[in-house]
C-alpha cells in the first residue's frame, strides 16, 4: 500500500457537535447560578468571536489560555465583572466537559475496516489541548482506534501550518508521503496536508465541492478504496 498511516480531523469529519456553543455555555452558566437569556448570550458569543478573529490574525492560536481569555471577554460582554476570575476559570474548565458530540454513522465501521487492513490511525485536530481532544474522542467511543492524538493547542501550530503535519509524521516515524490526512476543511485539512507532502482526502458530505481534480469522498465508507493504491 502507498500509505501506512491515516490521520483524521475530528470535528466535522469523525463526529459533529450536538448542541451549539450558545446552548452549551448557557447550561454551564446556569450550573454556576448565572441566569442569562440565550439570545443575549449568542450575541455576546459572536462579539467574543470578533475579538478572537483579531487575535488569530496576530498569530495567536487556540489553546487553554485562549479559552480562558475568550471566556473572560464573553462574560465581560454579558456585563459580568471581568474581575471574577473564579467564574472565568470555572466556565473555561467546564466548557470541554459540557460539549456533546455524536459520531457520524460511517465513522466506526470505517475505522474498523482501516484498522483491519493494517493502517495505523491517528488524529490531528485544531483543538485547545490534548486533554480536551481525549475527552471529545472518549465521548463518542472512539478512543480504542487511535495510536496517538495531535492537538494544536499543545504543539503550538494549527492546521494548515505544515509544522503540525510534519510533527505528526515524526511522531509516527514515517515519511510524509506515507501518511494520508482525512478532513472536511478544504484549506486546513486538504490543502494543508498536500502542501506538507502528505496525501489528502477531502470529506465532502454535502457535495459542496465540484472540482473533479479533488480527491474527495461523500462518505467515510469510500476511504478504504480511495486510499489503497499501488506502491
Residue-wise pLDDT for 38-57, tens only, equals 999 999 999 999 999 999 99
At residue 16, the pLDDT reads 97
Q: Do 116 and 194 fall into the same domain?
A: yes
Question: Which residue positions in the chain have pLDDT lower than 70?
Answer: 1, 81-85, 229-231
Q: Do 89 and 178 fall into the same domain?
A: no
Structural domain containing residue 30: 21-98
Tally of CA atoms within 13 A in the half-sphere of 203 that contains its CB: 24
Q: Do 74 and 183 fall into the same domain?
A: no
In the numeric block, the cell 455576546 is attached to: 44
Q: Do 144 and 196 fall into the same domain?
A: yes
At residue 212, the pLDDT reads 84
- From the number of C-beta atoms within 10 Å of its C-beta (0-12, 13-18, 19+), residue 83 rates as exposed
Q: Kindly report the CATH number assigned to the domain that includes residue 208.
A: 3.40.50.1000
Total count of domains within the chain: 2
Q: How far apart are CA 225 and CA 119, in angstroms?
A: 13
At residue 1, the pLDDT reads 64
Instruction: Indicate the average pLDDT of the chain.
Output: 94
Q: Do 94 and 108 fall into the same domain?
A: no
- Cβ distance 128 to 60 under 8 Å? no
Q: Spell out the residues 6+ positions from residue 116 whose beta carbon is closer than 8 angstroms to its own.
A: none
At residue 173, the pLDDT reads 96
Last residue of a domain, one of 98, 125, 157: 98
- Exposed e or buried b for every residue in 16-42, given b needs 16+ CB within 10 A? beeeebbbbbbebbeeeeeebeeeebb
Q: Do 122 and 181 fall into the same domain?
A: yes
Q: Do 121 and 210 fall into the same domain?
A: yes
Amino acid at each position: 500500500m502507498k500509505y501506512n498511516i491515516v490521520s483524521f480531523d475530528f470535528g466535522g469529519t469523525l463526529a459533529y457537535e450536538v448542541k451549539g456553543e450558545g446552548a452549551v455555555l448557557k447550561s454551564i452558566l446556569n450550573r454556576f447560578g448565572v441566569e442569562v437569556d440565550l439570545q443575549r448570550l449568542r450575541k455576546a458569543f459572536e462579539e467574543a468571536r470578533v475579538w478572537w478573529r483579531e487575535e488569530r490574525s496576530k498569530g495567536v492560536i487556540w489553546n487553554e489560555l485562549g479559552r480562558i481569555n475568550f471566556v473572560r471577554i464573553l462574560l465581560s460582554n454579558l456585563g459580568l465583572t471581568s474581575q471574577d476570575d473564579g467564574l472565568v476559570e470555572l466556565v473555561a474548565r467546564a466548557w470541554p466537559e459540557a460539549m456533546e458530540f455524536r459520531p457520524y454513522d460511517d465513522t466506526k465501521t470505517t475505522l474498523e475496516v482501516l484498522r483491519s487492513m493494517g493502517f495505523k490511525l491517528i488524529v490531528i485536530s485544531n483543538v485547545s489541548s490534548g486533554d480536551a481532544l481525549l475527552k471529545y474522542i472518549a465521548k463518542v467511543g472512539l478512543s480504542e482506534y487511535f495510536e496517538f492524538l495531535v492537538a494544536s493547542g499543545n504543539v503550538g501550530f494549527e492546521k494548515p501550518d505544515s509544522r503540525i503535519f510534519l510533527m505528526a509524521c515524526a511522531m509516527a516515524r514515517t515519511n510524509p508521503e506515507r501518511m494520508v490526512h482525512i478532513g472536511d476543511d478544504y484549506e486546513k485539512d486538504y490543502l494543508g496536508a498536500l502542501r506538507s507532502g502528505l496525501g489528502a482526502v477531502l470529506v465532502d458530505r454535502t457535495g459542496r465541492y465540484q472540482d473533479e481534480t479533488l480527491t474527495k469522498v461523500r462518505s467515510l465508507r469510500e476511504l478504504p478504496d480511495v486510499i489503497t493504491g499501488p506502491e
